[in-house]
């Protein structure tokens, strides 16, 4: 009997949760059993992993393979477990040393050819791994910048399963990802663009200075959204903790810009006036709503259903919700 263990990370809301991946190889008819509340995407990872392992030049074990994702009662979603499953299987058949993968954290989706593809939510996953005391995480190359934002954990960015196997077998080391220097913030929308509207501009400035709610009312096209959009530019940059929080939520929402710089400016969210409560606060399936995306920032919700009705706009300045009409 062969048993191998490694780690990956699932998402519980907008936070990462450590998931231990165990693989047991036993005598019996060739089959793969996956346990630990996998969703449809995780269940299908068995086929991706099998193809990726074979196309990387290794044999997939023709035995009874049981894969356990622990904690068993936590629902597992998404394709980010693929790499951990493949590595655990290869450790089970002793292609990789079990000790080399025991405390490793692996994230990423596998292509059938063994390529490693980017996944959402890498930043909160790496934050969780660092908090849990892990010292090294392997992520897809395209997620390495995002993962590198976390201090205190070594990040290895890989493009293929073959590279990860070569590294763990000690043949070709993957160099640790070096955190890039933060790029200067591009200029955001400026209040200088607003023509007139002296009272509205003053109200936005007072709301930003005091962290007050703001309620704007006016005919369609009067500039309510324009004013609210410029509120984040008046707020101070996010501190390190808040910036990581906002960037992690953007990572889950899949809205992190290429290069994954740390989001240091309060963001602006403008959900549709007909957005449901679930769309606003998130539905707990690893997808964030618009309100958490706008944590510590300004939110604007514009509602102009009929041209004759006044527009409405809600903003959230600093840490409180406000309604603007
Ligand atoms: N005071 C202003 N200065 C410069 N441009 C303006 C001004 N007011 C409106 N605009 C222009 O009109 C456009 C529409 O304004 P905006 O979307 O802010 O209106 P609104 O009050 O939010 O309307 P609605 O009620 O339909 O949401 C802006 O994108 C901007 O180009
Ligand atoms: Mg508007």
Instruction: Name, in order, each residue with C-beta under 8 angstroms of 289's C-beta and a sequence gap of 6 or more.
Output: 278, 279, 280, 281, 282, 283
Residue 95 and residue 220 in one domain = no
The pLDDT of 147-175, averaged and rounded, is 95
Report the CATH number at residue 104.
Answer: 3.30.230.10
What range defines the domain where residue 141 resides? 2-168
The pLDDT of 207-219, averaged and rounded, is 88
Provide the angle, in degrees to the nearest 10, between the axes of the packed helices 161-168 and 82-92: 40
pLDDT at 85 over 80: yes
Q: Which of 201, 225, 273 to mutate to test the pocket of ligand 1 (most atoms within 8 A of CB)?
A: 225
Residue 153 and residue 275 in one domain = no
Distance 202 CA to ligand 2 centre (A): 18
Does any ligand 1 atom lie closer than 6 A to the CB of residue 220? yes
pLDDT at 139 over 80: yes
Sign of the Cα torsion 89, 135, 127, 13 reads positive
Query: Residue 147 and residue 179: Cα distance in Å, rounded?
Result: 9
Residue 237 — very low, low, confident or very high, per pLDDT cuts 50/70/90?
Answer: confident
Last residue of a domain, one of 102, 135, 168: 168
Residue 84 and residue 127 in one domain = yes
Residue 228 and residue 100 in one domain = no
pLDDT at 116 over 90: yes
The pLDDT of 39-60, averaged and rounded, is 96
Last residue of a domain, one of 108, 133, 168: 168
Instruction: Name, in order, each residue with C-beta under 8 angstroms of 219's C-beta and a sequence gap of 6 or more.
Output: 310, 311
Does any ligand 1 atom lie closer than 6 A to the CB of residue 303? no
Residue 180 lies in a domain: no
Distance 277 CA to ligand 2 centre (A): 20
Query: Residue 67 and residue 21: Cα distance in Å, rounded?
Result: 7
Does any ligand 1 atom lie closer than 6 A to the CB of residue 315? no
Residue 88 lies in a domain: yes
Given a contact cutoff of 8 angstroms between Cβ atoms, the answer to whether 129 and 121 are in contact is no
pLDDT confidence of residue 226: 93
Residue 153 and residue 256 in one domain = no
Does any ligand 1 atom lie closer than 6 A to the CB of residue 194? yes
Residue 217 lies in a domain: yes
Residue 162 and residue 60 in one domain = yes
Distance 257 CA to ligand 1 centre (A): 26
Atom 12 of ligand 1, nearest CA residue:
221
Q: Which residues of 229-255 are buried (b: 16+ CB within 10 A; e: fewer)?
A: bbbbbbbeebeeebbbbbbbbbbbbee
Distance 298 CA to ligand 1 centre (A): 17
Residue 134 and residue 257 in one domain = no
- DSSP assignment letter at 272: B
* Tally of CB atoms within 10 A around 279: 15
- Of the candidates 7, 239, 252, the one whose C-alpha atom is nearest the C-alpha of residue 124 is 252
Given a contact cutoff of 8 angstroms between Cβ atoms, the answer to whether 232 and 297 are in contact is yes
Number of structural domains, the chain? Answer: 2
Residue 175 lies in a domain: no
The pTM (predicted TM-score) of the whole model is: 0.80
Residue 139 and residue 227 in one domain = no
Provide the angle, in degrees to the nearest 10, between the axes of the packed helices 40-55 and 82-92: 50
pLDDT at 45 over 70: yes
């Amino acid at each position: 009997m062969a048993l191998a263990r490694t780690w990956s990370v699932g998402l519980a809301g907008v936070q990462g949760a450590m998931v231990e991946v165990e693989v047991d190889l036993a005598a019996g008819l060739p089959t793969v059993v996956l346990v630990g509340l996998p969703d449809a995407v995780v269940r299908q990872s068995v086929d991706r992993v099998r193809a990726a392992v074979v196309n990387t030049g290794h044999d997939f074990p023709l035995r009874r393979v049981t894969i356990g994702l622990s904690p068993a009662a936590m629902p597992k979603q998404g394709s980010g477990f693929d790499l951990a499953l493949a590595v655990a299987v290869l450790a089970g058949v002793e292609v990789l040393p079990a000790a080399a993968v025991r405390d490793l954290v692996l994230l990423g989706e596998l292509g059938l050819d063994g390529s490693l593809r980017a996944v959402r939510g890498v930043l909160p996953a790496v934050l969780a791994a660092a908090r849990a005391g892990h010292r090294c995480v392997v992520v897809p190359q395209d997620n390495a910048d995002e993962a590198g934002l976390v201090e205190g954990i070594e990040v290895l960015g890989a493009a293929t399963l073959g590279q990860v196997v070569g590294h763990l077998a000690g043949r070709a080391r993957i160099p640790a990802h070096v955190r890039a220097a933060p790029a200067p913030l591009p200029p955001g929308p400026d209040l200088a663009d607003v023509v007139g509207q002296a009272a509205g501009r003053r109200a936005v400035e007072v709301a930003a200075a005091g962290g007050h709610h703001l309620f704007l009312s006016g005919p369609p096209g009067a500039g309510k959204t324009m004013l609210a959009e410029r509120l984040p530019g008046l707020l101070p940059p996010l501190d390190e903790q808040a910036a990581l929080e906002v960037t992690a939520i953007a990572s889950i929402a899949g809205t992190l810009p290429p290069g994954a710089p740390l989001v240091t400016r309060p963001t602006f969210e403008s959900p549709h006036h007909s957005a449901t409560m679930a769309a606003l606060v998130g539905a707990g399936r690893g997808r964030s709503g618009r309100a958490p995306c706008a944590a510590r920032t300004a939110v604007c919700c514009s509602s102009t259903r009929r041209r004759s009705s006044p527009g409405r706009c809600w903003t959230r300045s600093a840490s409180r919700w406000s309604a603007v009409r």
